[in-house]
Structure 1
């Protein structure tokens, strides 16, 4: 199941099963705060097992100034329930969530990279939203030598919560959390030296996607390049573009399913 929306103005939100083509256009979420030009929204999607319900969390940040030289902002979050087909206002957000959509691991938590306060200051955080308790909280990170030359991203890798600490000039460190929420369970899985051809791209967009059966790691380097890295040989090869695909696109690993909770196509 996928949740699809426009990154710039995600008023139109769809739930889609790409295996069956069945989809649902969600009702308009609305916000009490005015979503204007100096605003930003992010989204999360997951399945709440206890309630047997698919949920979408949409968060809005309204800044006092344009994105350059921001001093303060207002925030608001709303949760959509597929069962009720309605949005619920859950108020302000105690963190500044990242612009990328939340990750979901099959449990009750949606997870983002975040900061406390404005996104430019302070170190990165990993923040989860508990769909059962309807609350946000921090997830402990691995102990790393953090400095201004590192960029951190949060994702799913090998089926686990993962962090990618990316050096602007040198390498990427891939950590996975073997037991959700347990700080001591973080494990450094791979240290990947960035090949010269990748360094020319913005290092902030390097993203390991999946481990293949032969042990190679598929990585994404921005919207143009996909790379296969063999950690045993420390070798790389560039994947040819997909024929017929747009010039720029991003990749998301999915698992096919015949689940169709909507019953029929809805527009």
Structure 2
């Protein structure tokens, strides 16, 4: 379609060139705000975590710190003064006291409980009137064998050590067909060997000073049965001097630490110290 020609004169509205349209404003980008907000959020989290960690460390140090002194009680700022020499600071341990002699007796087989101090040593005087085997044995708390004391046949009379080389028994078991008697006394009541002794039955002697006896010991035996001589030294050391059957005569070294001598014999014997 052909438009009509505009009339002369100033252009009429709707005719002629139109003014350019205004340029619309560019939209503002959003990503700087998002990045900035993320950084701020991370900083807030870091600051919060740091504060929480500092608070936990402070609480832990408070728990480890010593409690403050109670009101009305001041802790001394200097160490306690040591007691003067001779000042009594604690109760002294009383000396060990051995009770009265312990006596048990019976006829035939029997097991008897005895009250002995475990760390004490005793001398047992034992007699038996019978013709068959006579065996005396110590038992521990559980009833198990804790050391043979006597093993003989027929009548028996003599002294033996108990609790010297091992703990004192809790009970004594006797196997016999006749009557028997056992008297337990503290070892300190045993006779002393001062250089010479003789007898016809088992014996136990204390040795006050073995070093002063000369260093040798001579023994004789006229019986037909076992003849055993042993010594007990320091630190529970046992030294066997003689172990023979029948008649014997000989000399053996005597160690200076010997404190007890025990003999097993059923015949005449002699014992003499020599230099």
Kindly indicate whether structure 1 or structure 2 has the higher relative contact order, using CA contacts under 8 Å at least 6 residues apart: 2
**Does the alignment reach a TM-score above 0.5?**
no
Structure number with larger C-alpha Rg: 2
Using structure 1 for the length normalisation, give the TM-score: 0.24
Larger strand proportion of the pair: 1
